[in-house]
A = this chain, B = another copy of it.
């Protein structure tokens, strides 16, 4: 859905106002921004509009103007202007999101933060804290702190592209979440610009802080709809000295899912506990010929860490015991780091491999309480049979997060594919799970919010949105609001 017109509609809160920016208005706004930021930082040419029109959902929605703020004060002035002129504006990091959070719903401005606001501002080794601008790339931050013996655990699959600002805005997860939690567990403080241009600080460099409302907490995962994040203070850990990987092969997916929650409940918390189902294993094997067990119902790949050999051994023994109690037919511990990488090969390459099952992949990231995983996977199998789609599943079972991929071969079946997805969402919600463990809602999942939330809950979300953004300029029409 490429949008060529300058016109856009903008839904104001509760009021069904529709207003239109005509080309003359756009030109006037552009002149203002050129004057404010310099011509090189305010663009409305077709190349820029195209370049900032998409994210990993592969939908294309062109903005009218792309702006490159140089610092927080630029953001403040831009927002003041947008607020006064009721121009929709969408903050954007790397544009690697899976739900359309960083693309415009219908015209307006993209505020591109990766060009200038990409600095690591301070490493406070004494307090194990790092302060960054939103455009810093996740993996660059990981590498930087690791070069100082420190550790930033959140590792979304997009770590080589995605920015910390985007990670915070979507509350990104990753493979290490089973032990180390997700982005929100590392955010200590946020500086942000409100739609009226006010600059606020939320949170502190302290582990405890109970003064005032937890504004930082609500900015996390707010998908750029409440404020533009201009600076983030993150907690770091000391880097564990040792790690070791292992893999278990299971005859059935139910056995593997039982092994997951029984291991996690045993007092041992692996860094990661990932799974591939039979279709996922077969896809990787077909593509890469690695000698994977293509008859297996599922494999679990896990990693433990610590500072002592005895700790590593203890954890692996516990995991092996729990796996074998739950039908693990083969358990392999990596001999060394290289061997560990081989064990992880299938998991790291599964996402691209499953394309053998269909032209279009409808991938979701539903999450359920861990002990509900066996039920979830059985129910997904039912959906697969009912609709006739292959649905390979893999993901972060350590935290109950399953990447389900409805593979559509014939693009005429897309609507049926969406029906299958809707059914999977309903199953997840019925199992006390959520629509999204890490990708967010954005545009892609907005139609499903009413499956998960009551009218009262949606009204409360709208009230919160209005408290921050009374004119609804910030990333409007997202999250089903």
Contact = CB atoms under 8 A, between A and B. Distances in A.
Interface in A238-286: 238-241, 261, 264-268
A167 to B, nearest CB: 11
A449 interface: yes
Interface string A126-138: 1111000000000
B308 A265 contact: no
Contacts of A128: 264-265
A208 B367 contact: yes
A385 interface: no
Interface stretch (A65-73, A212-220, A292-300, A336-344): A212-220
A180 to B, nearest CB: 11
A444 to B, nearest CB: 12
Contacts of A440: 210-211
B221 A213 contact: yes
Contacts of A170: 210
Given A127-B370, A261-B127, A211 B434 contact: yes
Nearest to A170: B210
Contacts of A126: 261, 265, 369-371
Contact of A238 (B199, B265, B436, B437): B265
Interface stretch (A88-96, A323-331, A352-360, A452-460): A452-460
Contacts of A217: 184, 214, 217-218, 220
B400 A441 contact: no
Contacts of A456: 194, 198-200
Given A194-B456, A467-B463, A208 B437 contact: yes
Residue among A200, A436, A460 facing the most chain B CB atoms (10 A cut-off): A460
Contact of A369 (B202, B205, B307): B205
A433 B369 contact: no
A326 B206 CA distance: 23
Contacts of A144: none
A288 interface: no
B171 A441 contact: no
Copies in the complex: 2
Contacts of A232: none
Interface string A175-198: 001000110110000000010001
A256 to B, nearest CB: 15
A212 B479 contact: yes
A438 interface: yes
A213 B127 contact: no
Contacts of A368: 206
A224 interface: no
Interface in A158-180: 170-171, 173, 177
Given A129-B369, A213-B221, A460 B204 contact: no
A129 B368 CA distance: 13
B436 A211 contact: yes
A213 B308 contact: no
Contacts of A268: 238
Residue among A185, A202, A445, A467 facing the most chain B CB atoms (10 A cut-off): A467
A466 interface: yes
A121 interface: no
Nearest to A99: B210
A26 to B, nearest CB: 30
The 9 closest A-B pairs by CB, nearest first: A217-B217, A238-B267, A126-B371, A208-B437, A198-B456, A463-B467, A207-B399, A467-B467, A209-B434
7 contacts: A198-B460, A204-B432, A206-B367, A210-B439, A210-B441, A214-B221, A238-B265
Given A206-B437, A208-B437, A310-B310, 20 more contacts: A171-B208, A194-B460, A205-B433, A206-B434, A208-B399, A210-B437, A211-B449, A212-B452, A213-B221, A213-B222, A213-B226, A213-B461, A213-B464, A214-B222, A215-B461, A218-B218, A267-B307, A308-B314, A463-B468, A466-B467
